[in-house]
Structure 1
Amino acid sequence: MPRRKQVPDADVLDAALDVLHARGPQALTFAALAEASGLAPATLVQRFGGKAELLHRVLMHAWDRLERRTAQLGAAAAPGPEGAVAFLVGLSEQYGGIDSYADALLVLREDLLDPESRRRGRDWKGTLARVLDGCLDGPPGSGAVLATYWQGTLLWWSFDPAVPVTEHVRRELTGFVTDVLQRARGGVPSRAEPGSPG
Structure 2
Amino acid sequence: MARPRKMPDEVIFNHVHALMQERGAEGVTFASVAERSGLSGASLVQRFGTKQMLVHAALVHAWQGLEERTRRVAEEAERSPQGAVLLLQKLSGSYGDIDTYADNLRILREDLRDPELRARGAAWVETLVAALDQCFAATPGAPEGVGRLMVAQWQGALLLWGFSPDGAVDLFVREHLQRFVRTLAR
Q: Same fold (TM over 0.5)?
A: yes
Where do 4+ consecutive residues of structure 1 move more than 6 Å?
Answer: none
Alignment of 1:153-168 (within 5 A): 153-168=157-172
Offset of 1:5 from its aligned partner? 6.1
C-alpha RMSD over aligned residues? 1.4
CA distance in 1, matches of 2:171, 2:119: 30
Equivalent position SS for 1:161 = coil
Cα deviation 1:74-122 (Å, max 9, x = unaligned): 1101111110011000110111000010011000111111011100011
Residue identity in the other structure for 2:152: T
Is 1:13 matched with 2:13? yes
Whole-angstrom distance in 1 between the partners of 2:28 and 2:92: 25
Q: 2:150 aligns with which of 146, 151, 161?
A: 146
Counterpart of 1:13, as a letter, is F
The number of residue pairs the alignment matches comes to 180
TM, length-normalised to structure 2? 0.93
Query: What TM-score do you get using the length of structure 1 for normalisation?
Result: 0.87
Pairing of 1:1-198 with structure 2 (within 5 A) = 6-136=6-136, 137=139, 138-179=142-183, 181-182=184-185, 188=186
- The answer on whether the counterparts of 1:77 and 1:83 sit within 8 Å (CA) in structure 2 is yes
Q: Which amino acid aligns with 1:22?
A: E
Q: Distance in 2 between matches of 1:62 and 1:5?
A: 21
Matches of 1:12 and 1:5 in 2, distance apart?
A: 12
1:194 maps to: none
- One-letter code aligned to 2:148: A
**Contact 1:88 / 1:150 at 8 angstroms: preserved in 2?**
yes
In 2, the alpha carbon distance for the partners of 1:58 and 1:81 equals 34
Q: How far apart, in 2, do the equivalents of 1:155 and 1:87 lie?
A: 18
Name whichever of 114-123 and 31-40 sits farther off: 31-40
Distance in 2 between residues matched to 1:18 and 1:59, nearest whole Å: 12
Deviates more, 1:74-83 or 1:136-145: 136-145
For structure 1, list consecutive stretches of 5 or more residues without a partner in the other structure. Answer: 183-187, 189-198
Kindly indicate whether the alpha-carbon contact (under 8 Å) linking 1:17 and 1:58 is maintained by their aligned counterparts in 2: yes
1 or 2 for the larger relative contact order (CA 8 Å, sep ≥6)?
2
**Cα offset, 1:145, TM superposition:** 0.7
The 2-side partners of 1:75 and 1:32 are apart by 39
Q: CA offsets, 1:107-138, max 9 Å, x none?
A: 01111110111000110110110110011122
1:147-182 Cα shifts (integer Å, max 9, x gaps): 111001101110000111011001000000111x21
Do the aligned residues in 2 keep the contact of 1:5 with 1:39 (CA within 8 Å)? no
